[in-house]
Every structure is written in structure tokens, then in C-alpha cells.
Amino acid sequence: MRAAPDPAAQATTRRGGDRKPPTAPTTPDGARGPLRNGSAPTAAGARPLIEHPAAVPDQPHEDPQYPGPWKRREQIGLATLYLGDCRLIAPTLARPAAVISDPPYGIDHGNSGGFSASHGWRQTREDVAWDRERPPAAWLSWLGAAADYVALWGGNYFADCLPPSMGWLIWDKGQTDFSLADVEMAWTNRRQATRRITVPRAVLVAEGGDHPTQKPISVMRFTIDKLRVPPGGVILDPYMGSGSTGVAAVQMRHPFVGIEIEERYFDIALRRIADAQRQGDIFRDAVA
């Protein structure tokens, strides 16, 4: 009688022929880093986001020139950053405590001139193609259930893809009747009161303003706080952009996983998060 095939072995070779998943470096607690094909780190209680990436709706194909679903992987203290398509990468990671992100809204604001220099933006922001379409509805629905604590900025553009929520978060920009919205709204999966923070958008000038839809770090700290992410809980941002969520996460001592598809923004996020990590280490060394 033939022995039944080993499901684990099948999963390893199901995609990419005989390729083996890359071995990630061990984390401080001895757990393995993210693996491909839905495998989770070996730490007790870690769970994959889904059983297999094939179950992800509207999943794009891997780029055959790269050995894994990401083009680069960088480790900076508490942060792990991936360059690539989040729909390929996120399903290979262990389930995080929280997903906090700002996906493209699909309003094509750049094409209509909304990010132009005439509206107060830098000249380098003229060409914004990634906002022409929002992510697929099934993918947004998947993200909304990918962690116990989820906040998606721009949630008013995705409300038809997500369950009703009472726990909205509001960023009041302290300015009215300019080219963009007076406030921005984050959908959450939490049953709690709606909360608001007022932060003038002018603070982005001091923070660099490297991305057309960049959020102030204080807004992302507010998001982590009001979402009530457990202390030390891993935060995933699949649309990392220039890294504001990651900066806020490492400042608050949360392990962070960020994914970004555009290399220029990936490099900016890498620098900003490294600076935040370094400043935090200097402060802790000074008070030790």
C-alpha cells in the first residue's frame, strides 16, 4: 500500500518546482522569520494569515527573476521591510497583531492635478499613477480580517468592501476648503467609540513630506494607541509608502513589518525607520 503524500512536502514544491523556501534569519526569541507558501514562524501560537497564497483573491504572479515573492528584504532592529507586491508577500507572513495601512483610494487625484505644484505639492509629485484604481474589493475584505486589530485609512472609499464599523478614527487637518479633504477617515474592525485627532497638515513639511499621501507620525501613533494594539504586538503595513506607520511603531516599541512596491518609497521608508530606531536606541542608552 502506497503511503499518503506528505502535505508539507507538497506545499514546499507546489510553487516554483523544486525550489525550496528561503531560510530567514532567526529572531531574538529564536523563531524563524517569514517563510513562503503560507508557512508561519515556528514560535508557539504563530498562525499564517491564510493556508496558502493561492487562496488570496486576485493574486498577481511572482516575478520569475526573483527567488521569492519579494525583491529585497531589510531588517532594522524591530522592523522588517519587504520590497514587492503585498498581495504576494503578506500571505506568507505569520498573522500579525495588527494591520494598519493607507491603501490607494482609487480617486485618480494625481491625474486630475490634485498633487501638482499649483496645489502646493512638490514638483516631483506631478506623476502619480498608483492612485488610479483602488485595490480589488476581495483583497480589501481579506485585509479587513487579516488581524485582530485593523485600521485602514481611506476607509470611506472602501466601505462597500468592509463590514460596518462603529470605531472610526478621524484625522482633522485643521484646515478647510483646500484641494484635499478637510479630514481623513480610518475604518477599524473594533467595537469602540469613534475618535478624532487634530494635526495641521503643515507638520508634514517638518517631517519631509516625501509621499503624496503621507500621514504625520503623530497620526499613526494615535492610530496605534486608539486601536489598542497590545504591547509588543506586531504591526503590518502592506502599503508602507514612506514609512510613517513604521516610524510610529518602532517609537512605541512594536515590531513592524512593512511592504512597499515602489523602490524609491521603500528606500525613503528604510532611512526614516532606521533613523527612528537609532534615535530610540540613543535615548534608551542615555537613560539606562
- Which positions ≥6 away from 216 have C-beta within 8 Å? 199, 201, 203, 204, 207, 244
Is the pLDDT at 261 greater than 60? The verdict is yes
List the alpha helices (DSSP H) in 23-107.
Answer: 86-89
Contact indicator for 194, 168 with CB cutoff of 8 Å:
yes
Question: What is the mean predicted confidence (pLDDT) over 265-280?
Answer: 92
Q: What is the pLDDT of residue 200?
A: 87
Beta bridge partners of 79: 76, 256
Parallel, antiparallel or unpaired: strands 72-76 and 98-101: unpaired
Q: How far is CA 105 from the centre of its chain?
A: 15
Q: Count CB-CB contacts under 10 A for residue 157.
A: 18
- Name the residue with higher pLDDT: 206 or 105: 105
Residue 2 pLDDT grade (very low, low, confident, very high; cuts 50, 70, 90): very low
- Which positions ≥6 away from 4 have C-beta within 8 Å? none
Question: 68-287: what CATH class?
Answer: alpha beta
Is the pLDDT at 16 greater than 90? The verdict is no
Q: What is the pLDDT of residue 137?
A: 93
Q: How far is CA 200 from the centre of its chain?
A: 23
Is the pLDDT at 271 greater than 70? The verdict is yes
Is the pLDDT at 155 greater than 70? The verdict is yes
CA distances from 187 to 199, 218, 220, 249 (A): 19, 18, 14, 19
Report the distance separating Cα 3 and Cα 13, nearest Å: 18
Average pLDDT value for the chain:
75
- Which positions ≥6 away from 30 have C-beta within 8 Å? 43
Range with the largest mean pLDDT of 40-44, 48-52, 130-134, 145-149 = 145-149
Phi/psi-derived region of residue 248, left when phi > 0, alpha when psi is between -120 and 50, beta in every other case? alpha
Q: What is the pLDDT of residue 47?
A: 41
Nearest Cα residue to 112 out of 180, 201, 214, 210 = 180
C-alpha cell at 198: 487634530
Q: What is the pLDDT of residue 27?
A: 32
Question: What is the mean predicted confidence (pLDDT) over 41-54?
Answer: 36
Q: What is the pLDDT of residue 122?
A: 47
Question: What is the mean predicted confidence (pLDDT) over 219-229?
Answer: 97
Q: What is the pLDDT of residue 117?
A: 45
Q: What is the pLDDT of residue 73?
A: 96
Question: What is the mean predicted confidence (pLDDT) over 153-182?
Answer: 89
Q: Which of 21-30, 112-121, 182-191, 244-253 has the lowest mean pLDDT?
A: 21-30
Q: What is the pLDDT of residue 178?
A: 67
Percent of the chain residues past pLDDT 70, beyond the cut: 61
Express each pLDDT in 92-149 by its tens digit: 999 999 999 999 988 764 455 444 444 444 444 445 565 578 899 999 999 999 999 9
Q: What is the pLDDT of residue 222?
A: 97
Report the distance separating Cα 111 and Cα 105, nearest Å: 13
Residue 210 pLDDT grade (very low, low, confident, very high; cuts 50, 70, 90): low
C-alpha cell at 24: 530567514
Q: Count CB-CB contacts under 10 A for residue 74.
A: 17
C-alpha cell at 260: 512597499
Q: What is the pLDDT of residue 35?
A: 33
pTM recorded for the entire structure: 0.72
Q: Which of 87-91, 106-110, 281-285 has the lowest mean pLDDT?
A: 281-285
Query: At CA 79, angle to CA 73 and CA 84, rounded to 5?
Result: 35
End-to-end CA distance of the chain: 65
Domain ranges of the chain: 68-287
Is the pLDDT at 235 greater than 50? The verdict is yes
